């Protein structure tokens, strides 16, 4: 019985690629050094899968930034502002598109479906001259073959690539991106021809957009594309992969009738209803790659249950046509449980990271082939039983408190307009008030202090002294810059979710459970294994300390319940909304303690609210109802004079703007600049927003420093669609990934632009 892995994490078990990228970007190492690290990681991954008995091993899933940007470089779709003059695209152009450079901004970055991974959005139009400009896929296939590993080259499918793109600047927003299909398919054919010549026998196209709600003409584009590719793929086995959700019946029919396709991958973890379609409508003679091992969570697979599913599918498609697979790429999970030293043995037995999932896939394939490892299956059953009955998982008082929430919608008693008036009397802010989103640069020294404190190399007194000095420095800088509402910079936090999870019950933490978010940015998601509560205050000490350093308002900084949920590995033994309500109650306790301590502005970040939106529209209303309700629970008990902020970033918010309004926050700061200010279009179309709003005025994910004039122009565009008295001026997101040499001049220019406009408005 054969086995398959959709994709694998590329950062390395100890973030080797992250450090190699940052060293290269800082000019401390060469392109050759970076390529050597990457080649070593690829080699290790391929050999690991081969040793586990995986038959269909992916290649071209390794990326220096993201797989969509890799496709953009493959077809030569470089926006003109990067001054690429043809030929093989090198690191300079590639990273300029991803990160910007001193003279031009980066391309837009947004979330990959409903994950915390980000991709660089292609900018396309009728004038783009497509050309084969990156031979990465072929080179990596040959590289693996030289190591004795025959791989399946993986590509973002041509139709999904276009559906994930946007019209370039200056191109009509109504431009039909699918009209470019005939122009990009010749490039795909060139790549396919080279892979055939190199000896490839399988090729995988990821067409994940098939799980979304597609219109008839969009589905027809898949048939058109694969009909066109059929002759080019002659002699190759073509695999089309879908993941992240159930595939709709009309898309299933389109997919399973595509010409020239030998097999299909389905997510059978998040797409349970797809099983019914397979059992009633799967075409004979085709390969079914059954995604029964979860590619997006870290819980050990229920091997006995998965084996039953596979046996039922074997009866449908035949033993020789069934392949055991992961539900999606494993890039969304941590790398290897072997590297974990912080987790206790009980919790560790409940988990499987990417390396362990590869073993699970192999074990299921062997069991189907009559070579079941009884000891492995027995150990798995014992671990599942241990988790189910562990007293660490359930807290009855928390369950009761969360259940009691369902009788109210938890709205503040006064409307937002009256609250803003009361807050202005207390805060006395100027028009176009300036603020930042929360974090300030995380210096090497600051990271050293936190690391040494956790390792107990310095005392608590020494740690508090060092953090206090850092907070004072950040406060002083903001006062020098004349920012209106301050933040303490979050020097005590390595990660906005991890920090809170460490102080809440029901969470566990890893030492090396890193997951790529974008580029070199990695996060270490907490593991929610049990009921959640707050044993004691989490941020009051630091926020109160910071407020004592200034007479200006100091924001209390919290992460919201929906974001903590969506940026964690969440327990799969109860509905997600129940866990979210538990977190909301814990954050509510913290909000009220901050208010009692004299903090008058409290920011509850919900950066990931849009990210968790289900991929199918029929499921949107239920999710948004409990997600927005969870946010309101956190601050329902505060006074009118306490100003509640929230923050969201790097997603398309226009389709959920009414739910954002329904959150009933006093002020929302929201990513805007990197997405070509498309957020503003919703206000141009007549949506009325009465609360405070701060669309980001510059992109913090690029080292580029925006000029005062650029920010001034951006604020002016906002004033064309938003009332002066509700507009705030702020960056897109937190500043932790930047250097002070970038942050200080950028904020100087931001404040200068705000003051210039204030003066003009006063006249």
Which residues are catalytic, by number? 701
Contact 4, 324 (CB under 8 A): yes
- Cβ 495 vs Cβ 514: under 8 Å: no
The vertex-176 CA angle with 175 and 181, nearest 5°, equals 135
- In the 3-class helix/strand/coil scheme, how is 414-442 assigned residue by residue? CCHHHHHHHHHHHHCCCCCCEECCCECCC
Residue 36 C-alpha from the chain's centroid = 27
Residue 309 token pair:
């599913």
Contact 266, 325 (CB under 8 A): no
Q: Are 713 and 677 in contact (CB under 8 A)?
A: no
Helices vs strands, H then E, count in the chain: 27, 22
Instruction: Please report the DSSP string for 709-759 in residue order.
Output: HHHHHHHHHHHTTS-GGGB-B--SS--TTS-HHHHHHHHHHHHHHHHHHHH
The C-alpha angle with vertex 163 and arms to 158 and 166, in degrees rounded to 5, equals 115
Q: How far apart are CA 207 and CA 255, in angstroms?
A: 9
Q: Sign of the C-alpha dihedral, residues 326, 330, 334, 340?
A: positive
d(C-alpha 169, C-alpha 179), whole Å: 17
- Alpha carbon distance 213, 223 (integer Å): 17
Rounded to 5 degrees, φ, ψ at 723 are: -65, 145
Residue 548: how many other CB atoms lie within 10 Å: 10
Closest CA to 424 of 177, 641, 644: 641
Please name which of 527, 482, 479 lies closest in space to residue 505, comparing C-alpha atoms.
Answer: 527
CA R_g for the chain: 26
Structure tokens at 517: 């978010």
Note the maximum CA span of the chain.
Answer: 83
Separation CA 419–CA 429 (nearest Å)? 14
Tokens in use for 267? Answer: 């997510």
| Number of other residues whose CB lies within 10 A of the CB of residue 63 | 20
Residue given tokens 């790549």 in the structure block: 191
Phi/psi of residue 292, nearest 5 degrees: -100, -10
């Amino acid at each position: 019985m054969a086995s398959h892995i959709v994709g694998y994490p590329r950062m390395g078990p100890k973030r080797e690629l992250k450090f190699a990228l940052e060293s290269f970007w800082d000019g401390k190492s060469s392109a050759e050094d970076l390529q050597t690290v990457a080649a070593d990681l690829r080699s290790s991954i391929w050999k690991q899968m081969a040793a586990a008995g995986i038959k269909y091993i992916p290649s071209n899933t390794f990326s220096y930034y993201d797989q969509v940007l890799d496709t953009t470089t493959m077809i030569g779709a470089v926006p003109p502002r990067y001054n690429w003059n043809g030929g093989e695209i090198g690191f300079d152009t590639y990273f300029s598109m991803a990160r910007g450079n001193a003279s031009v901004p980066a391309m837009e970055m947004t979330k990959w479906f409903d994950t915390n991974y980000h991709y660089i959005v292609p900018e396309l139009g009728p004038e783009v001259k497509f050309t084969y400009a990156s031979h990465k896929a072929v080179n990596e296939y040959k590289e693996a073959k030289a190591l004795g590993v025959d791989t399946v080259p993986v590509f973002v499918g041509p139709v999904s690539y276009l559906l994930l793109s946007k019209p370039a600047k200056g191109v009509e927003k109504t431009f039909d991106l699918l009209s470019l299909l005939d122009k990009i398919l010749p490039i795909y054919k060139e790549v396919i021809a080279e892979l055939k010549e190199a000896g490839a026998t399988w090729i995988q196209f990821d067409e994940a957009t098939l799980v979304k709600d597609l219109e008839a003409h969009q589905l027809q584009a898949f048939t058109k594309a694969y009909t066109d590719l059929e002759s080019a793929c002659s002699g190759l086995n073509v695999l089309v992969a879908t993941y992240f959700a159930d595939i709709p019946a009309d898309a299933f029919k389109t997919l399973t009738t595509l010409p020239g396709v030998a097999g299909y991958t389905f997510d059978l973890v998040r797409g349970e209803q797809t099983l019914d379609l397979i059992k009633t409508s799967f075409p004979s003679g085709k390969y079914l790659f059954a995604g029964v091992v979860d590619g997006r969570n870290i819980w050990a697979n229920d091997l006995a249950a998965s084996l039953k599913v596979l046996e039922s599918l074997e009866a449908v498609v035949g033993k020789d046509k069934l392949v055991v697979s992961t539900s999606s790429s494993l890039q969304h999970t941590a790398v290897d449980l072997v590297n974990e030293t912080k987790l206790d043995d009980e919790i560790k037995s409940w988990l499987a990271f990417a390396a362990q999932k590869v073993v699970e896939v192999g074990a299921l394939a062997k069991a189907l082939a009559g070579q079941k490892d009884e000891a492995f299956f027995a150990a798995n059953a014992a671990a599942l039983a241990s988790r189910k009955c562990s007293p660490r998982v359930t807290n009855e008082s928390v369950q009761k408190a969360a259940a009691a929430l369902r009788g109210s919608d938890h709205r503040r008693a006064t409307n937002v307009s009256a609250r803003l008036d009361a807050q202005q009397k207390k805060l006395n802010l100027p028009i176009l008030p300036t603020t930042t989103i929360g974090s300030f640069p995380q210096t090497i020294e600051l990271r050293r202090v936190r690391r040494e404190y956790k390792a107990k190399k310095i005392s608590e007194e020494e740690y508090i002294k060092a953090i206090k000095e850092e907070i004072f420095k950040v406060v002083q800088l903001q006062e020098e810059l004349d920012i209106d509402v301050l933040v303490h910079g979050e020097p005590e936090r390595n990660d906005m979710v991890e920090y809170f999870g460490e102080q809440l019950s029901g969470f566990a933490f890893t030492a090396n459970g890193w997951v790529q978010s974008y580029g070199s940015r990695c996060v270490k998601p907490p593991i929610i294994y049990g009921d959640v509560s707050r044993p004691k205050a989490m941020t009051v000490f630091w926020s109160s300390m910071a407020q004592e350093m200034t007479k200006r308002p100091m924001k209390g900084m919290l992460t919201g319940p929906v974001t903590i949920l969506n940026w964690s590995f969440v327990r799969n033994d109860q509905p997600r909304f129940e866990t979210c309500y538990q977190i909301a109650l814990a954050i509510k306790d913290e909000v009220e303690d901050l208010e009692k301590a004299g903090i008058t502005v409290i920011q509850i970040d919900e950066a990931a609210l849009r990210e968790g939106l289900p991929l199918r529209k029929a499921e949107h209303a239920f999710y948004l109802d409990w997600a927005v309700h969870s946010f309101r629970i956190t601050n329902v008990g505060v006074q009118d004079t306490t100003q509640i902020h929230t923050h969201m970033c790097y997603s398309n918010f226009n389709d959920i703007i009414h739910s954002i309004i329904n959150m009933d926050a006093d002020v929302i700061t929201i990513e805007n600049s990197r997405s070509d200010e498309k957020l503003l279009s919703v206000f141009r179309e007549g949506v009325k927003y009465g609360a405070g709003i701060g669309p980001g005025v510059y992109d913090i994910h690029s080292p580029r420093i925006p000029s005062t004039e650029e920010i001034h122009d951006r604020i002016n565009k906002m004033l064309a669609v938003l009332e002066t008295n509700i507009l705030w001026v702020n960056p897109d997101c937190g500043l932790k990934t930047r250097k002070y040499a970038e942050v200080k001049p950028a904020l100087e220019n931001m404040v200068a632009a705000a003051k210039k406009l204030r003066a003009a408005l006063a006249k």
